Chains A and B, each alone.
Chain A
Amino acid sequence: MSGAVTPPQGTPKLRIRGLRKAFGSKQVLDGIDLDVASGTSMVVIGGSGSGKSVLLRCILGLIEPDAGSIEVDGVDVLRLRRREREAVNRRIGMLFQNGALFDSLTVWENVAFGLMARRQINRRDAREKAGDVLRQVGLDPSVGLLSPSELSGGMQKRVGLARAIAAQPEILFFDEPTTGLDPIMGAVIDGLIVECVRTLGSTAIAITHDMASATRIGDAAAMLYRGRLVWQGPAASLLESGNPLVDQFTHGRREGPISMELRR
């Protein structure tokens, strides 16, 4: 298995080179180069529709990129065969932007889904474990008996987060984890993500529009603009990056180099 090979020291957990993806005539990703070191978290910011979700979907193999390479532990996943690719994906957990909870299952079955799919655990233990993870994300375990459609948007987000982290994956993707949460819960979730990265040693990529959240979660940060990463640096310096694009974005100014283009 590809995952068994220990990568040489210093290889980033995730290395992306020259990633390009167009939908029709619209070039969404236009040569992305990105390294995420093992055990760190990277925050990606960028305007709505700039291709942040597409970037994560490319890494997961849900969208086929046009060109470029995506290496996980030094292995180019785009060249892997299906089975091997699935094995790599098993090490990745993802919180989808809209939750993507299974609405035919109860909340606890959602949370324990990945655990049960790996067959390392029986249903009763899985249920108990699901209760623990729900408590971690600030939900009462009794919520587990509800169906996802009975939850508020913010609760769904937390259940999605619980589902993503339940199997303790090596790599975690969070697509706007705190959007739609109140500020306190947002901070709680941010803390949880940081804790996951710390205690599990996971590597994370988080997409966010929330600057407070970005500086809390991220070790490093990058800004996506017009299909390219126009700035990369420590997340702590997001607010004083010196880059006019980033400045305008993080301070939410109307005037600046980024003009709100009408979407084609």
Chain B
Amino acid sequence: MSGVLSLVASLGAIVLGFVRAAGSLALFALAAVSHLFRPPFYWRNFLSAFVEFAYFSLPVVALTALFSGGVIALQSYTGFARYNAQSAIAGIVVLSVVRELGPVLAGLIVAGRVGSAMAAEIGTMRVTDQIDALGTLSTNPMKYLVTPRLLAGTLALPLLVVVADILGVLGGFIVSVVKLGFSPNAYIANTFSVMQPIDVNVGLVKAAVFGFLIALMGCYNGYHSRGGAQGVGSATTASVVAASILVLAFDYMLTEMFFSR
């Protein structure tokens, strides 16, 4: 009996902790977003975060997308599309890249690269009193640190995903033409006949949501880190883990929302 009770109690504690964390995260996000509508806006911080997101992640995202597109072409050829390959493979590549792989891969890569760096930077600022110092210098730390980064993430990820989409399709194209010997013109025609505007749009919406979430997790964990270098380290890890899980979870939810009719 007491075993059951303590089980229920610890379960309750877990649920409560989860609700509390989610609530505090939601409040944090709300506060940061509300600063978007109250001047000043820190353009410099926005631009440097944007560059961090878009530019420095570009090579990794591009390479990943290129290879993924190629792999999909190869896999679907050897796997199941051998008999109708010409027309099917182009469609499989473009849909999987534009709807799923582009946003998800870009999201996971950026979470690991940029989200973690963000958590480390803001976390270091927290444990060395720099965030407190901002407050004594007529500057709201949320507005200065968090809001520009959230906006940068939300705007930069779609840009990255456009590049990932193009290179993913290119990867599939190269494999299909060079290795499988398809006609280049037919491949391109097939690609465009299968791809609908909604595929691209949903991919970009996903990207924007992922970008927001990644920046949010980086900022939130950094902002609330405590206890020196170790605290910053665990904040960094937490931000990557949380952002990755959120990217995958929201990917499912958004897919469900837009495509499951």
**Does A96 lie within 8 Å of B133, measured CB to CB?**
yes
User: What's the minimum C-beta distance from A29 to chain B, rounded to whole angstroms?
Assistant: 18
**Does B129 lie within 8 Å of A96, measured CB to CB?**
yes
Q: For the complex, is A163 an interface residue (Cβ under 8 Å from B)?
A: yes
Instruction: List chain B residues, Cβ under 8 A from A65.
Output: none
Instruction: List chain B residues, Cβ under 8 A from A100.
Output: 128-130, 132-133
Cβ contact of A118, chosen from B124, B135, B138, B140, cutoff 8 A: B138
Q: For the complex, is A231 an interface residue (Cβ under 8 Å from B)?
A: no
User: What's the minimum C-beta distance from A235 to chain B, rounded to whole angstroms?
Assistant: 25
Instruction: List chain B residues, Cβ under 8 A from A163.
Output: 133, 137
Interface bin, chain A: 20 to 34
**Does B137 lie within 8 Å of A114, measured CB to CB?**
yes
**A-contacting residues, B21-51, CB 8 Å:** 40
Cβ contact of A98, chosen from B121, B125, B128, B138, cutoff 8 A: B128
Q: For the complex, is B139 an interface residue (Cβ under 8 Å from A)?
A: yes
- Determine, out of A41-49, A87-95, A134-142, A220-228, the stretch whose residues face the partner at the interface: A87-95
Given contacts A89-B136, A114-B138, A163-B137, is CB(A119)–CB(B40) below 8 Å?
A: yes
Cβ contact of A62, chosen from B121, B135, B140, cutoff 8 A: B135
Q: A163 to B137: give the CA distance in the assembly, Å.
A: 9
**B-contacting residues, A59-117, CB 8 Å:** 60-62, 86, 89-90, 92-94, 96-98, 100-104, 113-114, 117
Q: A213 to B137: give the CA distance in the assembly, Å.
A: 26
Q: A94 to B40: give the CA distance in the assembly, Å.
A: 23
**A-contacting residues, B132-149, CB 8 Å:** 132-133, 135-140
Q: Closest residue of chain B to A104, judged by CB?
A: B121
Interface bin, chain B: 10 to 19
**Does B138 lie within 8 Å of A90, measured CB to CB?**
yes
Cβ contact of B136, chosen from A94, A97, A101, cutoff 8 A: A94
User: What's the minimum C-beta distance from A85 to chain B, rounded to whole angstroms?
Assistant: 10
Q: A92 to B132: give the CA distance in the assembly, Å.
A: 13
Q: A119 to B40: give the CA distance in the assembly, Å.
A: 10
Q: A57 to B138: give the CA distance in the assembly, Å.
A: 16
Instruction: List chain A residues, Cβ under 8 A from B129.
Output: 96-98, 100
Q: A85 to B18: give the CA distance in the assembly, Å.
A: 32
Most chain B beta-carbon contacts within 10 A, residue among A61, A92, A102? A102
Most chain A beta-carbon contacts within 10 A, residue among B121, B124, B135, B136? B136
Q: A113 to B45: give the CA distance in the assembly, Å.
A: 14
**Does B130 lie within 8 Å of A103, measured CB to CB?**
yes
**A-contacting residues, B100-146, CB 8 Å:** 121, 124-125, 128-130, 132-133, 135-140
Given contacts A100-B128, A104-B121, A119-B40, is CB(A94)–CB(B139) below 8 Å?
A: no
Q: Closest residue of chain A to B139, judged by CB?
A: A117
Q: A93 to B138: give the CA distance in the assembly, Å.
A: 10
**Does B132 lie within 8 Å of A62, measured CB to CB?**
yes
Instruction: List chain A residues, Cβ under 8 A from B124.
Output: 103
User: What's the minimum C-beta distance from B241 to chain A, rounded to whole angstroms?
Assistant: 25
Given contacts A98-B129, A100-B129, A103-B130, is CB(A60)–CB(B138) below 8 Å?
A: no
Instruction: List chain B residues, Cβ under 8 A from A86.
Output: 135, 140
**B-contacting residues, A107-158, CB 8 Å:** 113-114, 117-119
Q: A113 to B40: give the CA distance in the assembly, Å.
A: 14
**Does A102 lie within 8 Å of B133, measured CB to CB?**
yes
Instruction: List chain B residues, Cβ under 8 A from A60.
Output: 132, 135-136
Q: A97 to B130: give the CA distance in the assembly, Å.
A: 11
Q: Closest residue of chain A to B39, judged by CB?
A: A119
Instruction: List chain A residues, Cβ under 8 A from B135.
Output: 60-62, 86, 89
Cβ contact of B130, chosen from A62, A101, A118, cutoff 8 A: A101
Q: Closest residue of chain A to B137, judged by CB?
A: A114
Q: A167 to B136: give the CA distance in the assembly, Å.
A: 11
Q: Mark B221-242, 1 if CB is under 8 A from A, else 0.
A: 0000000000000000000000
Instruction: List chain A residues, Cβ under 8 A from B130.
Output: 100-103
Given contacts A94-B133, A100-B133, is CB(A117)–CB(B138) below 8 Å?
A: yes
User: What's the minimum C-beta distance from A258 to chain B, rounded to whole angstroms?
Assistant: 28
Instruction: List chain A residues, Cβ under 8 A from B133.
Output: 94, 96, 100-102, 163
Q: A114 to B133: give the CA distance in the assembly, Å.
A: 10
Q: A112 to B130: give the CA distance in the assembly, Å.
A: 15
B: which residues have CB within 8 A of A?
Answer: 40, 121, 124-125, 128-130, 132-133, 135-140
17 contacts between A and B (CB under 8 A): A60-B132, A93-B136, A94-B133, A96-B132, A96-B133, A98-B128, A98-B129, A100-B128, A100-B129, A100-B130, A100-B133, A102-B133, A113-B137, A114-B137, A117-B137, A119-B40, A167-B138
Q: Given A89-B135, A90-B138, list of 6 further CB < 8 A pairs? A: A92-B136, A100-B132, A114-B138, A117-B139, A163-B133, A164-B136
